[in-house]
């Protein structure tokens, strides 16, 4: 059942129930707390006494006295006077037997029914006929014997009933109408939220529907939560999609990057096995190719391992004081051999005094090798490779520099992102994770890395480590 239908049912039911409750409780409480005669009971009472007297034919004084005394016994507060049509009393239960003129009777009947609310007596005059003769029965009731909170006399006619019921219904309906108004506003807001949730499209390019609800109540808060949730879902979905794309790219690049050197290695190994080479120089160069490809594949596998380490967030450091100058010297010697015959100037700039710092040596070496490999792979055209080490009071700085094609400005902001490669179309040039690993290693050392590049002039990576 819809909320709106529920509310309508609730309103109709509660209105009916409260009316019934009002009727019953007022009668019930009236009976308990408001004892006495009600005005509307008196006329039927007088009429019933008159009827029983009229039935007596002929009307004898004894039987009249008996009837009136019995009625008085039953209603001790009521005085009954039986009189003829001249106002002369024939029998008075109070024993006073007064004579009334027309004026007396008219005064008694004046200002009814308000009269009984005052201190005066209430009088009911009923005509009776016996034989050819007319009589009157006068009932006198002290106002103290009447119901004090008498409201029923007001509702004795339909018209007066209307005057009571209409204001009553109106005053009853105000809370219902207010509740209805508030509910329909709440309902409208819920429907809006419902519709927005229904139409929430986590994929697609269409902008996320942002709901406007400035109120600070629970629904307003829910709307704000919806807005932020919709945006979060969108961005998380985009991230998942990006991750999925990266994963696919990684797999295709990896299979390509592993297959290409393997083919070359197989070819070279086959030439060496069959002895199908010209001289010792060719043999050496084939062996060097196999070695290079092996190193490349080894590096790829290392990077794969690093990715899974990054995923597990487990880059734990073993910080030991190491001589950084020595480490850089060792690496530089390795690269002299790698660059052998490539006509690249290797410029190693170390301070006169050795610099030592607390580092995780294997990790820091891997970071430096990644930077140097990149400088050779992407910046060989500049024929320059520079490594510089310096230190001041707060930090140790390591700089790797080349003068190759560099990184175009529009790519520079993303260069440390995982899987980011400037030339995404080209395979066989890495997986786009080297620099993200370097950044992770440096940051694990509480250091920072920054890059500046002017294509074909200078590309510099600066690592800053705290002393
Ligand atoms: P990859 O494994 O592809 O080399 P990296 O994270 O090491 O991944 O490098 C990301 C991208 O940054 C590379 O694809 C390359 O385009 C660019 N890059 C990195 N270093 C240099 C550099 N010294 N000169 C020019 N481009 C570079």
**What are the pLDDT digits (tens) for 284-299?**
989 988 988 888 888 7
Distance between CA 36 and CA 45 in Å, rounded? 14
CA of 109 to the centre of ligand 1 (A): 116
* One pLDDT digit (tens) per residue for the chain, 467 residues: 676 777 788 878 887 888 888 888 877 877 776 678 877 788 999 999 999 998 887 778 888 999 999 999 999 999 999 999 999 999 999 999 999 999 998 888 887 666 666 667 888 999 998 878 899 999 998 887 877 655 545 445 556 566 667 777 778 788 888 888 888 888 888 988 888 888 887 776 677 778 888 888 888 889 999 999 988 988 888 888 888 887 777 777 677 677 777 888 899 999 999 998 889 989 998 998 898 888 888 877 877 777 776 665 556 788 999 999 999 999 998 888 778 767 889 999 999 999 999 999 988 998 998 899 899 989 989 999 999 999 998 999 999 999 999 999 999 999 999 888 887 665 556 778 889 889 988 998 999 999 999 999 999 999 999 98
Distance between CA 238 and CA 376 in Å, rounded? 34
Cα 104–Cα 105–Cα 110 angle in degrees, nearest 5: 100
Question: Which pLDDT score, from 0 to 100, does residue 321 have?
Answer: 95
Distance between CA 171 and CA 166 in Å, rounded? 9
Classify the C-alpha dihedral 274-280-282-285 as positive or negative: positive
Question: Which pLDDT score, from 0 to 100, does residue 154 have?
Answer: 47
Distance between CA 466 and CA 434 in Å, rounded? 22
Question: Which pLDDT score, from 0 to 100, does residue 216 have?
Answer: 82
Residues whose beta carbon lies within 6 Å of some atom of ligand 1: 370, 374-375, 378-379, 402, 404-407, 415, 420-423, 429-436, 459
Q: Are 359 and 320 in contact (CB under 8 A)?
A: yes
The helix-helix angle for 280-312 and 218-274 (nearest 10°) equals 160
Q: Are 414 and 432 in contact (CB under 8 A)?
A: no
CA of 71 to the centre of ligand 1 (A): 119
Question: Which pLDDT score, from 0 to 100, does residue 314 have?
Answer: 58
**What are the pLDDT digits (tens) for 82-119?**
999 999 999 999 999 999 999 998 888 887 666 666 66
CA of 431 to the centre of ligand 1 (A): 9
CA-to-CA dists, residue 129 to 67, 88, 134, 135, angstroms = 16, 15, 5, 6
Nearest-Å Rg of the Cα atoms of the chain is: 55
In the chain the domains, ranked by start, together with CATH numbers, are 35-148 (3.30.450.20), 218-309 (1.10.287.130), 317-466 (3.30.565.10)
CA of 347 to the centre of ligand 1 (A): 21
- 399-402 own/partner pairs: CB under 8 Å, 24+ apart: 399/460, 399/461, 399/462, 399/463, 400/368, 400/371, 400/372, 400/375, 400/460, 400/461, 401/347, 401/375, 401/458, 401/459, 401/460, 401/461, 402/375, 402/376, 402/378, 402/458, 402/459
The SS3 of residue 432 is: coil
Q: Are 414 and 434 in contact (CB under 8 A)?
A: no
Give, for ligand 1, the residue of 307, 374, 405, 450 to mutate: max count of ligand atoms closer than 8 Å to Cβ. 374
CA of 447 to the centre of ligand 1 (A): 21
The SS3 of residue 400 is: strand
């Amino acid at each position: 059942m819809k909320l709106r239908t529920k509310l309508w049912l609730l309103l109709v039911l509660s209105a009916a129930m409260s009316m019934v409750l009002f009727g019953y409780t007022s009668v019930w409480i009236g009976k308990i707390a408001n004892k006495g005669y009600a005005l509307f009971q008196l006329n039927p009472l007088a009429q019933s006494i008159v009827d029983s007297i009229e039935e007596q034919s002929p009307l004898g004084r004894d039987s009249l006295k008996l009837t009136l005394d019995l009625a008085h016994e039953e209603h001790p507060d009521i005085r009954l006077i039986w009189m003829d049509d001249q106002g002369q009393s024939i029998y008075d239960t109070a024993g006073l037997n007064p004579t009334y003129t027309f004026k007396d009777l008219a005064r008694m009947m004046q200002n009814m029914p308000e009269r009984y609310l005052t201190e005066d007596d209430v009088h009911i005059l009923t005509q009776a006929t016996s034989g050819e003769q007319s009589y009157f029965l006068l009932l006198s009731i002290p106002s103290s014997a009447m119901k004090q909170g008498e409201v029923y006399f007001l509702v004795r006619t339909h018209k007066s009933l209307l005057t009571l019921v209409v204001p009553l219904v109106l005053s009853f309906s105000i809370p219902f109408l207010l509740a209805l108004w508030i509910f329909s506003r709440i309902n409208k807001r819920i429907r809006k939220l419902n519709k927005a949730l229904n139409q929430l499209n986590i994929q697609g390019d269409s902008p996320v529907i942002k709901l406007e609800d400035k109120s600070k109540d629970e629904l307003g808060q829910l709307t704000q939560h919806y807005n932020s949730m919709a945006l979060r879902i969108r961005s998380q979905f985009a991230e998942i999609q990006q991750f999925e794309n990266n994963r696919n790219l990684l797999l295709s690049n990896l299979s390509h990057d592993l297959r290409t050197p393997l083919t070359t290695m197989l070819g070279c190994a086959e030439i060496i096995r069959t002895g199908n080479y010209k001289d010792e120089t060719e043999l050496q160069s084939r062996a060097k190719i196999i070695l290079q490809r092996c190193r490349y594949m080894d590096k790829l596998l290392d990077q794969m391992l690093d990715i899974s380490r990054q995923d597990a967030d487990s880059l734990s450091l073993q910080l030991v004081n190491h001589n950084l100058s020595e480490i850089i010297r060792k690496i530089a010697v390795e690269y002299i051999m790698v660059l052998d015959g490539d006509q690249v100037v290797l410029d190693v700039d170390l301070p006169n005094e050795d610099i030592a710092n607390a580092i995780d040596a294997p990790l820091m070496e891997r970071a430096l090798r990644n930077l140097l490999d990149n400088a050779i792979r992407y910046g060989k055209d500049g024929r320059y490779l520079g490594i510089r080490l310096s230190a001041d009071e707060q930090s140790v700085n390591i700089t790797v520099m080349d003068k190759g094609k560099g990184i175009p400005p529009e790519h520079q902001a993303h260069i440390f992102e995982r899987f980011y490669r400037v030339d995404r179309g080209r395979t066989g040039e890495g997986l786009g994770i080297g620099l993200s690993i370097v950044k992770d290693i440096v940051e694990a050392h509480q250091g920072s890395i920054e890059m500046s590049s002017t294509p074909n002039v200078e590309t510099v990576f600066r690592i800053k480590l705290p002393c």
